[in-house]
Each structure stands twice: as C-alpha cells, then as structure tokens.
Chain A
Amino acid sequence: MPLGYVIATTADLGRQEAVDFLWRPRIGELLWNTVRLLVAGVAASTVLGVAGAWVVERTDVPLRGWWHGVLCAPLAVPAFVNGYGWVSTTHAVQSFPGAVMVVTLSYYPLVYLPTVAALRRLDPAVEEVATSLGRSGWSVFVRVTLPAVSPAVLGGALLVGLHLLAEYGALQLLNYPTLTTAILQQYATVFNGPEATLLALVLVTFCLLLLGIEALLRGHRRRARVGSGSSGDPVRVRLGRVKVPVLLALTALAGWSLLVPLGALVRWLVRGTSTTVDLGELLSAAGTTMLLALIGGLTATVVAVPVVWLAVRHRGLLTTAIERSVYTASAMPGIVIALALVTVSIRVLPGLYQTVVVLLVGYTILFLPRAVVSVRSTFELVPPGLEDVARNLGCSGVGVARRVTLPLVLPGLASATALVALAVATELTATLLLAPLGTDTLATRFWSDAAAIEYGAAAPYALALIVLSIPSTWILGSLSVRNGS
C-alpha cells in the first residue's frame, strides 16, 4: 500500500515537473549526502560490530559478559538522544565525519548482536581443523569464520543501512541534511506537497536497492553447518601483549558511545538554565509512551502470530508471499509509511485521521517484521509432532493451542512485544506525523525541546526514554547469547 501510494501521487505530478524537480542541485547534494553517509556508516558499523563480536566471543578478553553488555547498551540510547548528547558537547560533530561517527556509535549493535549469536552457533571444530592445517588466527578468521557468519553480518549491515536511510532526529540535530530530513522539512512547510512524495520515491528506490544488493551478496549457497555433532567451547585466541590495547579500545568505545551522551544528559539536568522539569508533563508523556509502546507491541505480536503460523505450518506460495511482503513493507522508512497513511486516511476514512488507530496501524506496518522474526524463531522450536501427540491424547484444536503451543511460544511472544515496544517508544518520524494533536510521547516532547535548542528542558525526557529502553535492550542482549546452545 505505501508503495502504491508513492507511485500514485507522483504520477499526479507531470513527468516534466518531476524531472525538473529532481535535477535541481539541492537534490544532488541531498543524494550525495545520503549515499556517502550510507556507505561510510554501514562500513564503519560493520567493522566495529564484527570486531567487537570477535573480541567477545573468540579471545580470552577478561570480563567477557560485562563487555557483551556494554557493547549491546547503545541500543537503549536512541540515535537522536545520542546526537543531542554529542551536539550539546561539541559542535565539531556537525559535519560529515561527525554524522558518520554518531550514527555508527548508535547503530553498530545491529551488526554486533547477530554476529555474536552466529559465532556462538558456529561449530568450533571447523575453526580447529583450519588451525590444524597450519593457518594463523587471522587467516582462519578471514577464510573460515567470516564466510560462515557472513549471512548474519550481512543481515545486520542491511538493518543498519535501512535505519540510516530512515534516520531523521539525529541527523537533523547534527545539521546534516539527507533525503529523509528534507522530506520532513518539505512536509512541514508545504503539507504533503508532491515534492515530498517525490523525494519519498527516491528514498524507497534506495531501500529496494539495498534489499537487492543484500540478496545478491547473500547468494543462494547454503552456509548452514553440515552434520549434527556437538559444538563444544571454542579455543579462544590468547591476546597476550595486545590485551591492554584491546581493553583500552573497548573502554574508549564504551566511553564514546555511552558516557558522552549520558554525560551530556546529566550535565544539562544538573546545571542547564532551561531545566524546569514539569514533573506532571514528564509523567504524562512517559505514561503515553508506555501505553502506546505496550499497545503497539501487543498489536504487532497479535498480527504476527497468524502470519508466522501460516508460514511455518502451512508452507505454500501464498503464505511465503505474505511473509515476504511483511519484510518489504518495513524496508520503507517510517516517513514514507506515515505520509501514505495520512493521505489514505484523509481521502478514504476522514473520521480516522488524527486518531490513535492510524498511529497504531503505522507502528504495526513499521515494526511487524521484528515481531515476526521473534515469534517465528519460537514457533520453529515447537515440533509439529508435539501438537500431533496432544491431538492423539484427545485434545481439541483449541485445547492444543491453549495447553501445548501457547505455553511453549509465550516467551517468544513476550520478547516480540518487548522488541516492538522498544521500537515504538523511540520512534520519532511517524509519531510526529501521525500522532493526534496534543498526544505527546517522550520522543516527541524531547524532540520539540531539543529542536528549539532547549537542551536542558529536553534532558529529563531523554533520560526517561533511556530508562524505559533498558529492559528491552537487556532482553535482546541475553537472547543473542542464549541462542548459542
């Protein structure tokens, strides 16, 4: 639907007009900014994420569990809060390198988490054989380990890319204009002008391009492990003389990605001149956020269950197509989906415009894949044989679902809800566009203060956001290592 909308509205625009608009130098600059941020950000996040995962999983670095937590932690700090922390510390980050650094520090966990999980699952025997055949640690890593975990790395890099295309808050604060920030500005000045949708079309093209590149790189070769042996503990590389530099690097990363934004927050809280915390407003925004996050999480999970159930138990062309379309829809940035929903609700169901329902629909479209991925992994753990046995013991269909399937998949459903809730709580662009007037979430309150450079007033909202995000981040971090065994 969003794709159809984008194409339909741009079709309204004359072809010549569209070409003229797209050929302006301003657009060229936006494109160049977007592309170089995309390339540099994805590359930096991938290097950082893979290096971090390797150090934690394959070396004898002390306090491994602690470093795993530290490397996951940036997930709890939304990118726009991170950007705010940096921009209010030094204006030097309002540049291309600064933008790359901030988005990398915010998004590298998206590569780190799947890579750690893949390294855990990798049969250490494969690496041992390579070692016994005379390969050094580096050669084993490049020729054996990396190819084996490459699907996970690639998937993480794709996620980073999609997030970078959709990122608005952080880049706006860093004064780094991209397609997405331009769309929101267009929208703010000439409400829903055709230019905004035209830019959205370009953005969608980028997203589809990314998906295509990823599919191409992934290829169709099987990389799953062959055989079924037990995977023991891997042999960890002795760091020896480089242990101190590695520890220093990890500490620097922690400081850079966590202490700077958190330090800025605390500084503004303590001595910001504009700090007049209205506790009532803060609590009401926090309440709205939690409510929206919870309902959004539950809605997405409830929608995900039948999609997954169909895809897992009744494999067919149609069900696979439905599942795939879910992923494609989410590849589109929140801004495009929000624009589409605004237009459709105004034209088709004017009664719904500016209601929470539209907002929830937007959240569901945006975050359904996260719920699907999480629900799916638990559904696949329930062997169909179990359901057959229950039926054989005289359970009705409803009874099987209630007494066997549901208890088994409940943890997965809970983590799906938590994941989507985390995403909803920190979502900015779609919320800005779709939320009913007067509905303030922590993110939008933070944003209106931070955008007005009232950093002190924004700080409490940012802190509340981070506190709300911690449980979901913890769930994600522990899931990634538990999958290993």
Chain B
Amino acid sequence: MTSGSHPPAALEIEGLEAGYGRTAVLRGLDLAVGDGVTAILGPSGCGKTTLLRSVAGFVSPTAGTVRLAGTEVVSGRRAMPARLRAIGYVPQDGALFPHLSVARNVAFGLPRAERGDSSARVAEMLDLVELPRSMAGRYPHELSGGQQQRVALARALAPRPGLVLLDEPFSSLDASLREDTGRAVVRALRTAGAAALLVTHDQGEALSLADQVAVMMDGAFLQVASPTAVYLTPAEPRVASFLGHASLVEGEVVNHTEARCALGVLPLRTAREAGLVRLAVRAEQIQIRNASTAGGGDGAPAEVVDISFYGHDATVRVRLDSGEELAARTPATSVPTPGDRVWVGVVGDVVAFTV
C-alpha cells in the first residue's frame, strides 16, 4: 500500500531505533497513523514514552525515519528541531504555564499576528474542549485536574496541528474523571480533525478511546490492530496475557478445529495443523460451578485459591487438580470462598499459539 493518490498519513514511522548510551530502548518500530486516535499500550518501561518523545523531537533517534504528513522530520541521525515540527504535545500533568492565564496559555503557540487578537480563537478552543468561556481569565492553580488537561489540549490544538501527542494524559486524574475527560478529549480531537498518538499503560483507556492499538513490549510492537482485533485475536501469547487477564494453558490440537487440554476439549477460533499449542483462555470465558451439582461433562475439578471482590464482579483464582492456575471472572452473586471444591468449564472458543 503506497500513498499514491491518497493524502499522506499524519504520521509514518519506519525502522525507528533509539537508546540511552548503550541500552537500546526502541528496536526498529514501524507504525502508520492515519486519522483518529492511535494508542501505544504497554507496561511502564517498555519504551512508549521514548517513542513519543522521538516523534516530538525531544529525543534523538539513532536510526529510522519519521514522516509527518509526508514531510520527513527524522532521517537516521538527522532530525528537525522540535519547535519546527508543528506537533501538538500534551504531557502527563498538562504542564500549563503557571504564570499565565488560561487564555494566554491557549494563545501561547499561535503565530505572532494571530496572538494580538486571540480572544476569538481562545473562545473557540474552550468550546471545543467543552470548558465554559468564562474560564479564560483563570489561572492554572484555580482549575481542577480534568480542567487542566482540557486546557492543555486546547493549547496544543490552537495552532491547528495535524498530529497531537498525548503522554499518559489521564493517569493523574481519579477514576471517575478519567472516562469523562478521555471522551471529551477524543471528541475535541475529532472536531479539530487532528490525528493523535496516545501513550498509556491502561488497557481500558486504550481499548475504549483508540481507533488503532499498538501493543508494545521491550521496545518493539507485538501487534498493531483495531481494539477488537488485538483483544479477540491476539497475535501472540504476551498480547493475550497482557490484555484482559488471559490464562495460558498447554494443549494439543486434535482435529484442526479443537484442542485437548486440562480443561477438556475446547473449540479453536481458527483452524490449524495438529501439534502442541498454548491456549489463551480469558477470565470471562471461565465458568465456575459448584462441584457437587455439576459433575461430569466438559471441564475439570479445581480448588479455589483466592478471591478479589470488585462489587460488579469478582476475580477467582483456582488451581486445577492437574496443577495449572487460572483466573476466572464470576458474577458478584455467586462467589465461592477460598478452599472450596469447584468445577471449572470454558464458554466459547479459544485462541491457540504455536509453542
């Protein structure tokens, strides 16, 4: 797929490598960001912030290219200075200028000519991020955390960038604010027509807000796909266990469409050759029944190890009699107690990986 008649993607990364001293942090990344939000999802220390800072121009990569809307900004060791890239940047805390009012924060990046009479643009941006216009005169320390993040986004969007970088922008907000602010930010980005690169370690945030998710571990992408694809058809076991508490169970493919394992014979999502495999069983697929009433059929006997009760549901960790440990998600109404004997079954098909 070459660009051809299509407009160039907002961001294209090819073979990007970076590191500090001798330690390599990014190991040859490829990524294309078209429209919408792309989330970089990974555990802390996987290099996702370094990737973001390389695109922004705060870190100098050692190899690879970065193109912004077709313009090359990084080519090997040559890099365009950060201030000339015209990328919006929203760091973790928003990093509002504490000595400037909201209006002057938002107008900060406007070209000199526009800065003189910026009140219209400031009002427009405040509308965009769903803040009342009366806030223009306030100072950053008079705003709540969520409001600060919205102002930071307004400031980043004001000079009309084609791409906005968001570095864990919601991690310092409390849970109830996080979702509202996240939705509002995505709406504002859509309206402004800006593509976004969102760095996060929160899979709920990545899956719910992004159009494309890149799962990153140890400086490399494991999978780049839509949220449903990375969740339902993980490309490899690490993606499966990182996203949504999948337990990995050893098994053997019996007749192309089924695999036999400690939990019985389970249907496979995609047909494959016979042989040894590793099966990813998601927590919500595992059903726990009372050992005395169930009995027989598919499944395996097990003992409850411990329980985390969340209210809407609970995570139950069980040890099969054959030794494997699994995590299951059960409704809050039928939570067993540790030490109980239970019967464990699987609902739906599972993903198999070559061992």
List A residues at the B interface (Cβ < 8 Å): 123, 125-126, 128-136, 143-144, 147-148, 221-230, 235
* CB contact between A134 and one of B83, B93, B94 (< 8 Å): that residue: B83
CB of B58 within 8 A of chain A?
yes
Q: In the complex, A135 Cα to B152 Cα: how many Å? A: 16
Output the least CB separation between B347 and chain A (Å).
Answer: 42
CB of B109 within 8 A of chain A?
yes
In the complex where A134-B109, A135-B83 touch, is A229 in contact with B96 (Cβ < 8 A)? no
Output the least CB separation between A218 and chain B (Å).
Answer: 12
Identify which of A134, A143, A228, A235 gathers the most chain B CB atoms within 10 Å of its CB.
A134
Output the least CB separation between A210 and chain B (Å).
Answer: 23
Q: In the complex, A223 Cα to B139 Cα: how many Å? A: 10
Give the residue name and chain of the B residue nearest to A123 (CB). B95
| CB-based contact B91/A129 at 8 Å | yes
* CB contact between A222 and one of B58, B97, B98 (< 8 Å): that residue: B98
CB of B61 within 8 A of chain A?
no
Identify which of B84, B108, B156 gathers the most chain A CB atoms within 10 Å of its CB.
B108
Give the residue name and chain of the B residue nearest to A234 (CB). B58
Q: A125-B93, A128-B56, A133-B83 are in contact. List 5 more A-B contacts (CB 8 A).
A: A126-B97, A135-B109, A227-B145, A229-B95, A229-B172
| CB-based contact A128/B58 at 8 Å | yes
| CB-based contact B83/A132 at 8 Å | yes
| CB-based contact B109/A226 at 8 Å | no
| CB-based contact B94/A227 at 8 Å | yes
| CB-based contact A125/B99 at 8 Å | no
Beta-carbon contacts of B115-154 to A below 8 Å, as 1s and 0s?
0000000000000000000000001110101001000100
| CB-based contact B91/A226 at 8 Å | no
Q: Please, which residues of chain B bring their CB within 8 A of the CB of A226?
A: 93-94, 96, 98, 140-141, 143, 148
Q: Please, which residues of chain A bring their CB within 8 A of the CB of B57?
A: 131-132
Q: Please, which residues of chain B bring their CB within 8 A of the CB of A224?
A: 98, 141
| CB-based contact B93/A136 at 8 Å | no
Q: Please, which residues of chain B bring their CB within 8 A of the CB of A125?
A: 91-93, 95
Interface size for B (C-beta < 8 A) is 35
| CB-based contact A133/B96 at 8 Å | no
| CB-based contact A229/B97 at 8 Å | no
In the complex where A125-B91, A129-B89, A131-B82 touch, is A227 in contact with B99 (Cβ < 8 A)? no
Q: In the complex, A225 Cα to B96 Cα: how many Å? A: 9
| CB-based contact B82/A132 at 8 Å | yes
The 3 A-B residue pairs whose C-beta atoms are closest, nearest first, are A133-B109, A227-B93, A125-B95
Beta-carbon contacts of B75-113 to A below 8 Å, as 1s and 0s?
000000011111111111111111100000000110000
Q: In the complex, A8 Cα to B246 Cα: how many Å? A: 84
| CB-based contact B98/A132 at 8 Å | no
Q: Please, which residues of chain B bring their CB within 8 A of the CB of A131?
A: 57-58, 82-83
Give the residue name and chain of the B residue nearest to A134 (CB). B83
Q: Please, which residues of chain A bring their CB within 8 A of the CB of B56?
A: 128, 132
Output the least CB separation between A133 and chain B (Å).
Answer: 3
Q: Please, which residues of chain B bring their CB within 8 A of the CB of A133?
A: 83, 89, 108-109, 155-156, 159
| CB-based contact B139/A221 at 8 Å | yes
Output the least CB separation between A404 and chain B (Å).
Answer: 31
Q: In the complex, A133 Cα to B90 Cα: how many Å? A: 11
Q: In the complex, A221 Cα to B156 Cα: how many Å? A: 24
Beta-carbon contacts of B141-179 to A below 8 Å, as 1s and 0s?
101010010001001100100000100000010000000
Give the residue name and chain of the B residue nearest to A226 (CB). B140
In the complex where A226-B148, A229-B93 touch, is A128 in contact with B82 (Cβ < 8 A)? yes
| CB-based contact A130/B91 at 8 Å | no
Q: In the complex, A437 Cα to B14 Cα: how many Å? A: 81
Q: Is the interface of A mostly helix, strand, loop or mixed?
A: loop
Output the least CB separation between A232 and chain B (Å).
Answer: 9
Give the residue name and chain of the A residue nearest to B105 (CB). A129
Output the least CB separation between B125 and chain A (Å).
Answer: 13
Q: In the complex, A235 Cα to B82 Cα: how many Å? A: 11
Give the residue name and chain of the A residue nearest to B171 (CB). A229
| CB-based contact A123/B82 at 8 Å | no
Q: In the complex, A230 Cα to B84 Cα: how many Å? A: 26
Q: Please, which residues of chain B bring their CB within 8 A of the CB of A136?
A: 83
Q: In the complex, A235 Cα to B81 Cα: how many Å? A: 12
Q: In the complex, A222 Cα to B172 Cα: how many Å? A: 21
Q: Please, which residues of chain A bring their CB within 8 A of the CB of B155?
A: 129, 133
Output the least CB separation between A181 and chain B (Å).
Answer: 40
Q: Please, which residues of chain A bring their CB within 8 A of the CB of B172?
A: 227-229
Q: Please, which residues of chain A bring their CB within 8 A of the CB of B99?
A: 147-148, 221, 223
* CB contact between A128 and one of B95, B98, B140, B148 (< 8 Å): that residue: B95
Q: Please, which residues of chain A bring their CB within 8 A of the CB of B89?
A: 128-129, 132-133
Q: Please, which residues of chain B bring their CB within 8 A of the CB of A147?
A: 97, 99
Q: In the complex, A143 Cα to B89 Cα: how many Å? A: 18
CB-defined A-B contacts under 8 Å, sample of 7: A125-B95, A128-B56, A132-B82, A132-B88, A134-B109, A226-B141, A227-B145
Q: Please, which residues of chain A bring their CB within 8 A of the CB of B94?
A: 226-227
Q: Please, which residues of chain B bring their CB within 8 A of the CB of A132?
A: 56-57, 82-83, 85, 87-89, 109, 156, 165
Give the residue name and chain of the A residue nearest to B110 (CB). A133
Q: In the complex, A223 Cα to B99 Cα: how many Å? A: 6
In the complex where A129-B155, A133-B155, A134-B84 touch, is A225 in contact with B92 (Cβ < 8 A)? no
In the complex where A130-B97, A133-B108, A144-B97 touch, is A229 in contact with B159 (Cβ < 8 A)? no
| CB-based contact B91/A228 at 8 Å | no
In the complex where A227-B172, A229-B172, A235-B58 touch, is A126 in contact with B83 (Cβ < 8 A)? no
Q: In the complex, A228 Cα to B94 Cα: how many Å? A: 10
Q: In the complex, A240 Cα to B288 Cα: how many Å? A: 66
Q: In the complex, A128 Cα to B155 Cα: how many Å? A: 13
Q: Please, which residues of chain A bring their CB within 8 A of the CB of B108?
A: 130, 133, 143
Q: In the complex, A295 Cα to B3 Cα: how many Å? A: 79
Q: In the complex, A123 Cα to B84 Cα: how many Å? A: 22
Q: Please, which residues of chain A bring their CB within 8 A of the CB of B152?
A: 129
Q: Please, which residues of chain B bring their CB within 8 A of the CB of A228?
A: 93, 172
Q: Please, which residues of chain B bring their CB within 8 A of the CB of A148?
A: 97-99
Q: Please, which residues of chain A bring their CB within 8 A of the CB of B148?
A: 226-227
